[in-house]
Structure 1
Amino acid sequence: MYKTKIFKASFLFLNICVAVSSYAQQVRLPDPAYNLVLKAPVKTWDEALPLGNGLMGGLLWGEQNTIRLSLDRGDLWDERTHGEKEWWKKYTYQKGADLIAKKEFNTVNSWWDQAYNGVSPTKLPAGRIELKFPDGEVVREFELMEATAEGITRFNSGATINTFYSAKNPVAMLSIKGTAADSVMLFSPMDVYRKNAKGDGGPSSGGSVSKLGYPEAIKGKTATAEWYIQEAAEGLKYCVYLETKKSAKETLIAFTITSTVDGKDPLSLARERVAQALNKGYAGMLKPHAKWWAEFWKKSSVSIPDTAVQKQYNLVQYFYGAASRLKAPPMPLQGVWTADNGALPPWKGDYHNDLNTQMTYMAYQQSGRYEEGESYLNFLWDRRDFFKDFARDFYGTGGLACPGVMSYSGQPLGGWGQYSMSPTMSAWSAHLFYLHWLYTADDTFLREKAYPWSSGVGECMLGILKKDQNGLLKLPLSSSPEIFDNSPKAWLEPNSNYDLMSLKMLFLSLKEMAAQMGKTADEKKWADAAVALGDFHTKADGTLLLDAKYELTNSHRHLSNIIGIYPFNLINNESGKTDEKMIEASLQNWDKLGTNQWVGYTFSWMSCLRARVGDGEAAVKNLDIFVKAFVLRNGFHVNGDQTKSGYSGFTYRPFTLEGNFLASQAVHEMLMQSWSAKPGELNTGLIRIFPAMPKKWADASFTNLRAEGGSLVSGARKNNQTVSFSITAGRKGKLRIKDNFDGRVPKWNVKKVLKTGDVYEVNLEKGQKLKAVF
């Protein structure tokens, strides 16, 4: 009888485990209910339906009987330097520091800022395809089928256009059914410029394409095909080629963008690619494409009871697949969706390393989009020789450094010197290599890329830093990104908290990576460097200052002086009262200063930060504002408050992508966190299940989010209580889980789960699954 009761109880527990864990651990494809649907008309390119395959991108939009597809390719760049060629070799960092010490600020500004004032270097648009249908056809809506990355255009008549950018081949296809286009026209960027001059356009952007001085595109046409070849600068030519194939049931269009990067004859290559696609047909090309996307979505999923946030989350995950791929250019400011209004992209569509690139590539780790993230890491790795030259020529050091603002080739673009030429932007970029290693637990990547690249940055920083009279390492120049713009006041007293935090995180991460590889001498070197930087600058009440003298006294868009809280985690609420005091006082100060000078990404960054310190209500408040006021109807983040509701004094429109990815990461931070309260200490990470949940997210779940060490974590929550979770170990060793379960004790599926303080610990083999139910 006793054994029977035990058996029944065990059987019941097993069933509960299976039922609850299967609820949490079933990977979910994007629900069609959350697809992006745009009601026609869509009259501007930046509100269009975004499509892409990493290399190429497209924006689908239109009204009445006109459908447009704006074209882009990620590596189309004009790399011509404005002003003196390789100006950074002449106007070096040390020369700038010497003049700033003499208060000759304008001279230094003219050196480092003037390069950015030219038209180039710049990302280039690739033109537009425009389809005209009979007058009786009126477009009703556009829908992005996220599960298959397919765009559908629907007309009132029932006619449709299906569109996709192949995930497997550098081509895109359209299938038109139920109607036929009267004309299919291909416009070069200059054609678009001339159309816009007549009033057909959209929001203004980064200067006219006519200023590039290119010759007119060479155009060609046959009965079924149309193309143009554009001669750009410095030997670059690119070709946009489309061909039509008609049958009784559909009109099929295939197109591609080729360039001299692909081969000597872009036209022949384009013709060949398009012919192969047309021979396979729409269905034949769609099958491997859909399979690729099915695998993409299997990586992880989340489910939250907030339609607007869930929709934005799904869309942003889609952005990773559509705009960032291995062996393709990583996302600059606007990804593969460059302006289509006859103008060049805002801020040249460049790679901004004072926040934008780092935040764009900071949300892929937890969702397991590792290949998509490696696009940027490989980009940085492949340019390491140029970055070594830049460190030598501009900073006068060994090692390597990437410019704070750079082109596709990696050359510095200049701009406000306080961040565009700041060495610590490289330290923040190195943090991405560190995070990738932490989350993948890939020690080969650590040895071959993460440590070599990051230690190169470390060597450059050690070459710049000099000891002061107190033995502390100091930079010759210091700043805090975008604080005081480019005014003389923006040169802060070394080291600013931003520089201090960036450097300390770099050295601690290098210490940890060296320890993993058994490099004891390196480990000590980096540990000593981290200590030699000294403490953070605070007021007596703990408020983090800008530098040793100045306090942040006005609302500001960049959380630079509190970056040590997030994402670096140097200051956290699990490291004692001193850290807690800094967090509380600093956030009170930010609250007091208000949001008048915030932009969209500020809200999503603050959402991440509030979640990291366990404040779910503040996290969701900032996230809700972001989704409500700083997102266009197609999901693109825009810098200004589009509702003009007073969330920000900025109401301007240009879009950049980093705010989107920060919002996606904020969701991760609320659902699951994995970090060490002691950065730099090997194997001290801690997993936190539902650590910052707002009450209105009473029911939520996530599947296969990644934790440090490569572990897969799934969890389910009902009625504001965690009901189950599971962790599949990414490597052999000890798992540590924070007890934030409100006094409820988990039932484990394995033995020897021990508790020390508020932390559960268990040793697992790689691939072993730990399950818990309540």
Structure 2
Amino acid sequence: MKPFKIILLLLNLGCVFTVCAQIPDARFNLLLKAPINTWDEAIPLGNGLMGGLLWGEDNTIRLSLDRGDLWDERTTGEKEWWKKYTYQKGAEMIAQKKFSTVNEWWDGPYNGVSPTKLPAGRIEIKLPVGQIAKSFELKLATAEGLAYFKSGAVVRALYSASEPVALLSVKGTIPDAVDLLSTSDVYRKNVDEKGGPSSGGSVSKLGYPDAVKGKKGNAQWYIQEAAEGLKYCVYIEKKVINKETLLAVTITSTSDAGDFLSLAAKRCMVALAKGYEANLKPHKQWWNAFWQKSSVSVPDTAVQKQYNLVQYFYGAASRLNAPPMPLQGVWTADNGSLPPWKGDYHNDLNTQMTYMAYQESGRFDEGASYLNFLWDRRDSFRAFAKDFYGTKGLACPGVMSYSGQPLGGWGQYSMSPSMSAWSAHLFYLHWAYTADDKFLKEKAYPWSSEVGECMLGLLKKDANGILKLPLSSSPEMFDNSPKAWLEPNSNYDLMSLKMLFLSLKEMAEACGKSSDIKKWDEAATALGDFHTKDDGTLLLDANNELKSSHRHLSNIIGLYPFNLITTENGEKATQIIDASLKSWDKLGTSQWCGYSFSWMSCLKARVGDAEGAVKDLDIFVKAFVLRNGFHVNGDQTKSGFSDFTYRPFTLEGNFLASQAVHEMLLQSWSSAPGKINTGVIRIFPATPEKWANASFTNLRAEGGYKVSAIRKNNLTVGFSIVASKAGKVRIKDNFDGRKPKWSIKNVNKTGDVYEVNLIKGQKVSASF
């Protein structure tokens, strides 16, 4: 190796082994040619509470507006229908084969207009005729959106990371007009221009009165009366300083203050008094700290851009003390429509997968947004468990509104208790990756154990002593047909419940609750074994095999995200993995959605299939994202990857793709879930050949470890691990027969695992 290359490598190693997470390079910014004619290809901006989409064409720039807690919570049909049409009654009707009755009870309420997430209108900036938009850019490092014009004029936009306000700066030209459009205005405009809304149903169906508009000086606003006492105000004020036009925007509501109009006016006045650059300074500081938590580097520009963008989504759309991301985050449809699937919280994969990628990247505050949301609604969830399931404990509905209200839908998943078990897994993972015992004792174990109590209240032993649910399904398999009611327990239910009880056992041990350890261990064992064919293929339930392509990987969820069946569990487990994935491959991808590809990428990485993982990830990035990076469910290239070619936008596929990158670079799961402190760190466990040179800095591993590593020419050349608490770290030897040179003594090897005890804050490094 030439001397200058040796020096460069040493410099790189030195950076990785200190805190040198990389701010996203400008070459990975989102840069789009004008025009952008539709909201779902816009530049996404946000600060958790509010979101915006920057788009436009010619001399018109639009900023679509959103706020996370704007919801119409009106129940469709009977109030609190779930108290009347209970789980037990549903089970009785299904036993009598009265399937249509249960569909009417549980699916019927979802067919109404509300509950639904609400859009918040838009701003349209009209520049002089002759000003032609050239391109748009999202600067990831500073979370700024820009519109560039052929004349040299520039529009800049930011959603302040420190204040509940957005700012726009127009330089190089003077706007002819700044128009504020209510949601009804947008609807009417869309009807005039395009013939009507395209998805989700028209906002006009809400039956709201027209917004009340007002103007004073350089300010304009509208106040929209919504439903059940909710009113909200969208407020914009303009200020011209020298040759710069400044606009401040905010959204307030009755949840903020009685006089929410005055509050909005004050927020905008203060922001304008500071000016754009003064507001930008704390905003940049926040984002700089955000990016320094961790970084990855892979030699694939498309994948790297998607990874960076999705990590940005956490910062833009999910913050502490702000609503968590529903299906579209803070980027609700701006086409005169209500959002697809009501923009709700779907707990049959969407919320869980949206919050699956923050743990390894250390975005714990952003991830805690959803956990706090679930925690704050535990009284409602307790009432739901009591009123619908007839049990103690708590349960979150499979499909729910911002308040936690059950929305109904296909009853096989919308009213399934197992969705709560999967949600509890997020509490477990947050504890596992943070090693935060305070969080464990105060939130993770209390919330999850109440879910466990609800499940125990439903489970009954059959003649063979196996715990069974009254009803069972595998999400979205057979849609909502009678066939979708599977024989209890389906593999999905079995895996979700087993993971819940094993994680509760582990958390109980960490909390010193000895009696609980036995209870959860016995419950996990009493669920019995997974259902397989003779060759090991995982079935849907004891009798039904998956015989056609399907979008939801529910019957193999035990492989990922759960670590119930792993490559380290022996010959039988390996046979199950190989046979099940062979079966899925044989069925093809005709009925897959975008998220199916990114989920399968994660799963294949987890079982060590690096080339299969990167193939599915590449397909996702190529075919299932729009040019602004948003995941849409259908194949936009119409290349035959899927028969679905439509484009409803949801976020979970994006986050699964980000997590797939993590899974290829670093894994830390235990092959013995339920046994505390048995996780093993695996460095570059499923890295494909074409990622010959890759690195990551400060990714997190279970146990609270920060891990950094460099790979050159398909070989690991060095890594470091920092402990957040005292304990034994275990590192898998997948180093191709090469022996590491350790930075500290007393690193021992047991089998194929290196072990070393670290104290809090201590670092161990290795080079080759």
Aligned counterpart, 1:743: 737
Query: Would you say the 8 A contact 2:124–2:179 is kept in 1?
Result: yes
Alignment of 1:168-567 (within 5 A): 168-200=162-194, 204-567=198-561
Query: Would you say the 8 A contact 2:187–2:196 is kept in 1?
Result: no
The alignment partner of 1:239 has SS state of strand
Query: Would you say the 8 A contact 1:44–1:201 is kept in 2?
Result: no
Query: Would you say the 8 A contact 1:716–1:722 is kept in 2?
Result: yes
Aligned counterpart, 1:3: none
**Deviation string, structure 1 residues 30-69 (Cα, Å, up to 9, x no partner):** 0100000111000000000000000000000000001100
1:116 to 110, 117, 120: 110
**Partner letter of residue 393 of structure 2?**
G
Whole-angstrom distance in 2 between the partners of 1:670 and 1:730: 23
**Deviation string, structure 1 residues 87-137 (Cα, Å, up to 9, x no partner):** 000000000000100000000000000000000000000000001111110
Query: Would you say the 8 A contact 1:127–1:189 is kept in 2?
Result: yes
Whole-angstrom distance in 1 between the partners of 2:12 and 2:701: 24
The alignment partner of 1:583 has SS state of helix
Query: Would you say the 8 A contact 1:21–1:716 is kept in 2?
Result: no
The alignment partner of 2:682 has SS state of strand
User: Are 2:47 and 1:59 aligned?
Assistant: no
Whole-angstrom distance in 2 between the partners of 1:759 and 1:145: 42
Aligned counterpart, 1:43: 37
Moved >4 Å (runs of 4+):
13-19, 200-203
**Partner letter of residue 652 of structure 2?**
E
**Deviation string, structure 1 residues 713-748 (Cα, Å, up to 9, x no partner):** 000000010000000012101100000000011100
Change (3 A) 1:339 1:685: same
**Residue 274 of structure 1: how far off its partner (Å):** 0.4
Whole-angstrom distance in 2 between the partners of 1:16 and 1:128: 50
Change (3 A) 1:91 1:734: same
User: Are 2:133 and 1:132 aligned?
Assistant: no
* Percent of aligned pairs with the same amino acid: 76
Whole-angstrom distance in 2 between the partners of 1:154 and 1:284: 22
1:728 to 702, 722, 726: 722
The alignment partner of 1:676 has SS state of coil
The alignment partner of 2:506 has SS state of helix
Whole-angstrom distance in 1 between the partners of 2:111 and 2:527: 35
**Residue 203 of structure 1: how far off its partner (Å):** 7.0
Query: Would you say the 8 A contact 2:393–2:452 is kept in 1?
Result: yes
Whole-angstrom distance in 2 between the partners of 1:16 and 1:431: 40
Aligned counterpart, 2:750: 756
**Under a length normalisation based on structure 2, what TM-score does the superposition of the two structures give?**
0.98
Whole-angstrom distance in 1 between the partners of 2:217 and 2:617: 52
Query: Would you say the 8 A contact 1:195–1:201 is kept in 2?
Result: no
**Partner letter of residue 597 of structure 2?**
F
The alignment partner of 1:338 has SS state of coil
**Deviation string, structure 1 residues 521-564 (Cα, Å, up to 9, x no partner):** 00000000000000000000000000000000000000000000
The alignment partner of 1:199 has SS state of helix
Gaps of 5+ in 2: 1-5
**Deviation string, structure 1 residues 350-392 (Cα, Å, up to 9, x no partner):** 0000000000001000000000000000000000000000000
Query: Would you say the 8 A contact 2:729–2:757 is kept in 1?
Result: yes
1:22 to 15, 31, 56: 15
**Deviation string, structure 1 residues 641-674 (Cα, Å, up to 9, x no partner):** 0000000000011000000000000000000011
Query: Would you say the 8 A contact 1:24–1:702 is kept in 2?
Result: no
**Under a length normalisation based on structure 1, what TM-score does the superposition of the two structures give?**
0.98
The alignment partner of 2:424 has SS state of helix
Aligned counterpart, 1:82: 76
Whole-angstrom distance in 2 between the partners of 1:344 and 1:423: 28
Whole-angstrom distance in 2 between the partners of 1:107 and 1:273: 52
Query: Would you say the 8 A contact 1:173–1:252 is kept in 2?
Result: yes
CA RMSD of aligned residues (A): 1.3
Query: Would you say the 8 A contact 1:610–1:619 is kept in 2?
Result: yes
Whole-angstrom distance in 2 between the partners of 1:133 and 1:742: 62
Whole-angstrom distance in 2 between the partners of 1:745 and 1:676: 23
The alignment partner of 1:256 has SS state of strand
Whole-angstrom distance in 1 between the partners of 2:12 and 2:391: 59
Change (3 A) 1:678 1:14: farther
**Residue 222 of structure 1: how far off its partner (Å):** 2.3
**Deviation string, structure 1 residues 128-152 (Cα, Å, up to 9, x no partner):** 0001111110000110000010011
Aligned counterpart, 2:3: none
Whole-angstrom distance in 1 between the partners of 2:193 and 2:131: 23
Whole-angstrom distance in 1 between the partners of 2:691 and 2:110: 45
**Partner letter of residue 241 of structure 1?**
Y
Aligned counterpart, 2:585: 591
The alignment partner of 1:686 has SS state of coil
Whole-angstrom distance in 1 between the partners of 2:222 and 2:695: 50
The alignment partner of 2:525 has SS state of helix
Whole-angstrom distance in 2 between the partners of 1:308 and 1:147: 18
Alignment of 1:570-649 (within 5 A): 570-649=564-643
User: Are 2:673 and 1:657 aligned?
Assistant: no
**Partner letter of residue 103 of structure 1?**
K
Alignment of 1:149-160 (within 5 A): 149-160=143-154
**Partner letter of residue 210 of structure 1?**
S
Whole-angstrom distance in 2 between the partners of 1:66 and 1:505: 52
Query: Would you say the 8 A contact 1:225–1:241 is kept in 2?
Result: yes
Change (3 A) 1:374 1:731: same
Change (3 A) 1:156 1:635: same
**Deviation string, structure 1 residues 602-647 (Cα, Å, up to 9, x no partner):** 0000000000011110000000000000000000000000000000
Aligned counterpart, 1:9: none
Change (3 A) 1:426 1:519: same
The alignment partner of 1:152 has SS state of strand
The alignment partner of 1:151 has SS state of strand
**Partner letter of residue 122 of structure 1?**
T
**Partner letter of residue 358 of structure 2?**
Y
Change (3 A) 1:493 1:160: same
Whole-angstrom distance in 2 between the partners of 1:676 and 1:120: 43
Whole-angstrom distance in 2 between the partners of 1:119 and 1:522: 44
